[in-house]
């Protein structure tokens, strides 16, 4: 007998070798019908796989994120079966689940997008056939012979490249389709239902290596019901409408050139927006004790060897040689911050120290990975490095999180998830240091009432980190801020402080970026708001628009008064109809259009049209100026009235 512990703490004794579906049936027949897999001690298993070890046990249904991944994994297999059935020369290679869907790569064929409906129809036939999906274990050498005899060289290569300690592999069968796969999968093809859709085709390479065979990739997505599928494509349509590249052009914010791939050409309005973000962050940081520095962008190779970046990150760095010495554009701001802190001997009484830098960094991204503001080669981080004692670590971690959450709230971004990225396989530092820092991060956010997910092995090479994911207005998740804990760089740079005992001690170094990258944050924020920035952030807050040229002098007076009050205002003095001006500036997402006609000029008033509102408001010029000065204030920043 083995003992299973259910999510509510209930213990259940069952015979060793029992299937997950049988355990589910003992709990509830309805639950057994909904089950797509089970989890035993954090290991996902098919519902028909014998359970031979006790421990934590849960049933995966359509309500679990893992359930959707299993559904999509099965959809990828159904796609592969359909393609091999329709195209006898096709060889299925690999077909993983990806964010929002799945894909499968095929050798030996070329598929055009207009062929996708035909493949979908064949997939529907396979679903309707409701084939049982069975799993069997096969000795490694036997599996290699099995796939070789079937003429599947890609499966053979996968098996040969497995670690030597792998003695058995799992094989899945549905109808006449056989696949090498770890699983788990749905128990029957019929459970896939009708809520799947193939979306596009593209070229790919075997194992992502451009020197290897060219493959045909077919993308798709799947959900547990057709409503979710419909909602997904509605979201895609909305995302296309909000695309920051499209809106950036319409709003005249920035553009890109082939002369500088992955680097932004900011236009006046875009640069104003960028600098306003920095000014806001500068004020928020200064209020809680940060000082600001600036460090060189080009630094000697020796620095990067000391930090470890030369060994661990060189392929992503831009390098050059000057006077026979190797230099690199900084991909990180951290070493510069360390050198500033190290410049003078610090006492424990001086800690913690908060050192901020709006540092521009350069990282090599493959040309195919560059994507608007979201993925660039040169960007600015709202970076800061906090140096503290081990005793201060808990409070300082929490202080960063509090500031981060407050800032996100100012931008209306409150739906947040936290991931704890733990030690990667290749890293610097001892396990004792990693244990201390990982536990410190986990305890700090747990004590604040936050939950987190483990992102195993995704920490930086020098320390673990917290990644903060925010959900935007249409439900997409974006990773923005990060908080890293580090004892390794202080060690490598021999950084010390004088403790209360008069001896030298290593400080802990916290790395944090709240926006992350200003460029990427703006890309995310443009799409989340559809370009409708709050008044305080908008690069042009008010557009003054005279009805006719007879009101140009008054419009100029209004403009001067607004600008003198610190309002970012412009005037449209073109000889165009007022309806044309209003429509054009509304499309450019100007928050307020101040219309001035004959009556307004005579009475020194403004007729105000706020973006997205039908109602117009007439205000005295001076009253409007007072109101706009209040509206232009940064949220969460104290002002002296």
Q: What is the pLDDT of residues 32-67, one digit of tens each?
A: 888 999 999 989 999 999 999 999 999 999 988 899
CATH 3.30.980.10 fits 68-237, yes or no: yes
At 312 the pLDDT is 85
Continuous segment of H or E residues that includes residue 409: helix 393-410
**Confidence grade of residue 122 (pLDDT, cut at 50, 70, 90):** very high
Above 80 in pLDDT, residue 641? Answer: no
Tell me the average pLDDT across 132-138: 95
Q: Which of 246, 251, 245, 289 has the alpha carbon at shortest distance from 272?
A: 251
At 345 the pLDDT is 80
Q: Which of 123, 116, 162 has the alpha carbon at shortest distance from 139?
A: 162
At 243 the pLDDT is 94
Catalytic residue among 385, 520, 568, 589: 385
User: For 50, what's the count of Cα atoms within 13 Å in the CB-facing half-sphere?
Assistant: 8
Tell me the average pLDDT across 161-172: 92
334 catalytic? Reply is yes
> Quick one: CA torsion of 466, 472, 476, 480, rounded to 10 degrees?
-30
363 catalytic? Reply is yes
At 128 the pLDDT is 97
Q: Where are the beta strands (DSSP E) in 279-369?
A: 291-292, 298-300, 319-322, 325-329, 346-347, 353-362
Above 90 in pLDDT, residue 116? Answer: yes
- The CATH code of the domain at 2-61 is 3.10.20.30
Catalytic residue among 382, 383, 467, 486: 383
Question: Cβ(48)–Cβ(172) under 8 Å?
Answer: no
Chain segment 516-557, per-residue pLDDT in tens: 999 999 999 999 999 999 999 999 999 999 999 999 999 999
465 catalytic? Reply is yes
385 catalytic? Reply is yes
At 1 the pLDDT is 86
How would DSSP label each residue in 519-567?
Answer: HHHHHHHHHHHTT---TTT-SS-EEEEESSGGGHHHHHHHHHHHHHTT-
Residues facing residue 319 across a β-bridge: 328
At 337 the pLDDT is 95
Q: How many CB atoms lie within 10 A of CB 413?
A: 22
DSSP state of 634: P
pLDDT higher for 459 or 345? 459
Tell me the average pLDDT across 387-393: 96
Q: In percent, how much of the chain has pLDDT > 90?
A: 88
At 470 the pLDDT is 93
At 194 the pLDDT is 94
Residue ranges covered by each domain of the chain: 2-61, 68-237, 248-529, 542-631
**Confidence grade of residue 369 (pLDDT, cut at 50, 70, 90):** confident
Chain segment 211-248, per-residue pLDDT in tens: 899 999 999 999 999 999 999 999 999 999 999 999 99
Tell me the average pLDDT across 174-198: 95
Region class of 350: left (phi > 0), else alpha (psi between -120 and 50), else beta: alpha
Chain segment 146-157, per-residue pLDDT in tens: 999 999 999 999
At 366 the pLDDT is 84
Catalytic residue among 269, 334, 362, 551: 334
Q: In percent, how much of the chain has pLDDT > 70?
A: 100
Catalytic residue among 122, 309, 363, 568: 363
Give the relative orientation of helices 621-631 and 552-564 as an angle to the nearest 10 degrees: 40
Architecture of domain 248-529: 2-Layer Sandwich (3.30)
Could you check whether 248-529 and 542-631 share the same CATH topology? no
User: For 605, what's the count of Cα atoms within 13 Å in the CB-facing half-sphere?
Assistant: 13
Architecture of domain 542-631: 3-Layer(aba) Sandwich (3.40)
CA-CA distance, 209 to 44, in Å (whole number)? 30
Above 90 in pLDDT, residue 292? Answer: yes
CA-CA distance, 101 to 415, in Å (whole number)? 23
Which residues fall within 8 angstroms of residue 610, CB to CB, at 6 or more apart?
591, 592, 617
Tell me the average pLDDT across 169-191: 95
Report the Cα 183 to chain-centroid distance in Å: 26
At 582 the pLDDT is 94
Query: Average pLDDT of the chain?
Result: 94
Which residues fall within 8 angstroms of residue 302, CB to CB, at 6 or more apart?
none
Q: In what order do the strands lie in the sheet with 508-517?
A: 291-292, 353-362, 378-388, 508-517, 477-486, 465-471, 416-421, 453-455
Q: Rounded to the nearest 5°, which phi and psi values hold at 640? A: -90, 110
Chain segment 69-88, per-residue pLDDT in tens: 999 999 999 999 999 999 99
Q: 259 in helix, strand or coil?
A: coil
381 catalytic? Reply is yes
Above 90 in pLDDT, residue 571? Answer: yes
Catalytic residue among 77, 465, 581, 609: 465
Catalytic residue among 39, 155, 423, 511: 511
Helix-then-strand count for the chain, H and E? 20, 36
Residues facing residue 320 across a β-bridge: 327
Above 90 in pLDDT, residue 132? Answer: yes
Chain segment 595-604, per-residue pLDDT in tens: 999 999 999 9
CA-CA distance, 269 to 147, in Å (whole number)? 60
């Amino acid at each position: 007998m083995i003992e299973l512990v259910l999510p509510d703490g209930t213990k259940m004794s069952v015979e060793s070798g029992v299937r997950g579906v049988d355990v589910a049936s003992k709990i509830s027949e309805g639950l057994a019908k909904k089950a797509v897999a089970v989890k035993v001690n954090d290991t996902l298993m098919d519902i028909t796989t014998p359970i031979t070890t006790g421990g934590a046990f849960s049933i995966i249904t359509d309500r679990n994120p893992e359930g959707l991944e299993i559904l999509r994994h099965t959809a990828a297999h159904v796609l592969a079966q359909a393609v091999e059935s329709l195209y006898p020369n096709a060889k299925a290679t690999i077909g993983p689940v990806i964010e929002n869907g799945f894909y499968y790569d095929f050798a030996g064929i070329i598929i055009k997008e207009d062929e996708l409906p035909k493949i979908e129809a064949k997939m529907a036939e396979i679903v309707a056939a409701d084939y049982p999906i069975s799993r069997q274990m096969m000795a490694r050498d036997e599996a290699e012979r099995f796939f070789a005899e079937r003429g599947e060289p890609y499966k053979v290569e996968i098996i040969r490249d497995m670690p030597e300690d792998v003695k058995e592999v799992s094989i899945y069968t549905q109808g006449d389709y056989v696949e090498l796969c770890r699983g788990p999968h749905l128990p029957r093809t019929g459970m896939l239902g009708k809520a799947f859709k193939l979306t596009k085709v593209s070229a790919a390479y075997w194992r992502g290596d451009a020197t290897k065979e060219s493959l045909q990739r077919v993308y798709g997505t799947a959900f547990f019901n057709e409503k979710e599928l419909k909602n997904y494509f509605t979201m895609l349509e909305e995302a296309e409408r909000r695309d920051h590249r499209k809106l950036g052009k319409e709003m005249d914010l920035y553009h890109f050139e082939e002369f500088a791939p992955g680097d932004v050409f900011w236009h006046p309005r875009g640069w104003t927006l960028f600098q306003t973000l920095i000014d806001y962050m500068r004020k928020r940081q200064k209020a809680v004790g940060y000082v600001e520095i600036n460090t060189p962008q080009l630094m000697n190779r020796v620095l990067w060897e000391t930090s470890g970046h030369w060994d661990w990150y060189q392929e992503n760095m831009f390098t050059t040689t000057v006077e026979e010495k190797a230099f690199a554009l900084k991909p990180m701001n951290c070493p510069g911050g360390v050198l500033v802190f190290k410049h003078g001997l610090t006492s424990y009484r001086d800690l913690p120290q908060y050192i901020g830098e709006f540092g521009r960094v350069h990282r090599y991204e493959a040309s195919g990975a560059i994507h608007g503001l979201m993925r660039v080669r040169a960007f600015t981080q709202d970076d800061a490095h906090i140096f503290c004692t081990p005793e201060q670590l808990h409070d300082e971690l929490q202080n960063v999180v509090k500031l981060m959450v407050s800032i996100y709230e100012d931008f209306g971004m409150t739906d947040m998830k936290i991931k704890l990225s733990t030690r990667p396989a290749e890293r610097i530092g001892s396990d004792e240091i990693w244990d201390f820092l990982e536990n410190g991060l986990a305890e700090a956010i747990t004590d604040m009432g936050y939950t987190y997910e483990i992102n195993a092995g995704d920490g930086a090479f020098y320390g673990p980190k917290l990644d903060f994911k925010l959900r935007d207005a249409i439900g997409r998740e974006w990773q923005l801020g990060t908080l890293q804990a580090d004892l390794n760089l202080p060690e490598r740079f021999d950084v010390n402080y004088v403790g209360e005992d008069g001896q030298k001690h290593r400080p802990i170094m916290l790395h944090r970026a709240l926006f992350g990258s200003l460029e990427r944050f703006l890309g995310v924020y443009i799409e989340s708001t559809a370009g409708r920035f709050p008044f305080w952030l908008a690069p042009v807050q008010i557009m003054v628009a005279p009805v006719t040229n007879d009101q140009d002098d008054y419009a100029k007076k209004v403009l001067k008064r607004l600008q003198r009050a610190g309002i970012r205002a412009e005037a449209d003095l073109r000889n165009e109809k007022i309806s044309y001006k209003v429509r054009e500036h509304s499309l450019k997402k100007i928050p307020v259009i101040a219309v001035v006609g004959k009556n307004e000029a005579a009475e020194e008033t403004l007729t105000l049209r706020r973006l997205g509102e039908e109602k117009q408001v007439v205000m005295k010029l001076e009253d409007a100026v007072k109101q706009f000065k209040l509206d232009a204030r940064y949220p969460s920043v104290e002002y002296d009235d």
